[in-house]
Amino acid sequence: MSGTILIVDDQKGVRRLLEELFKREGWEVRGAGDGLEAIEKVEASIPDLILMDVKMPNMNGLEATHAIMARHPGIPIIMMTAYGEIEVVRQALEAGVKRCISKPFDIVTLRDMVHELMLEVAM
Ligand SMILES: [Mg+2]
């Protein structure tokens, strides 16, 4: 299985960690540091899946999700929320996000979530 994942997070360390993980899993990985950059990256080349942080400068993850979903409703998005942010989770799901995972997340859970969604996309 192959595919491209766009990792959107303002924390370089998080991007690097996830990039290493998913490259090792065989995916092609791209990164963006905020919502605006995420939109640019999606328009330049549509990814198969997006991992989206919520709190970011310039444009947050919810706003970016709305913008991306309006143009590309088929792209699965996993939102990385902070623990206990139930209202954000509700808004994210309403915006069309497929899954939410709270930070700090278990890397195996996230890996399995990505794999499962990628299989859905492939079918
Ligand atoms: Mg953040």
What are the distances in angstroms from CA 121 to CA 1, 3, 50? 11, 10, 12
What are the distances in angstroms from CA 45 to CA 4, 31, 38, 49? 10, 12, 11, 12
Which residues crowd ion ligand 1, with CB under 5 Å? 10, 53, 55
Q: 108 C-alpha to center of ligand 1: Å?
A: 21
> Which CATH architecture best describes the domain 4-122?
3-Layer(aba) Sandwich (3.40)
Q: 97 C-alpha to center of ligand 1: Å?
A: 17
pTM, rounded to two decimals: 0.96
pLDDT band at 1 (very low <50, low <70, confident <90, very high): low
pLDDT band at 84 (very low <50, low <70, confident <90, very high): confident
Encoded tokens for 20: 């290493």
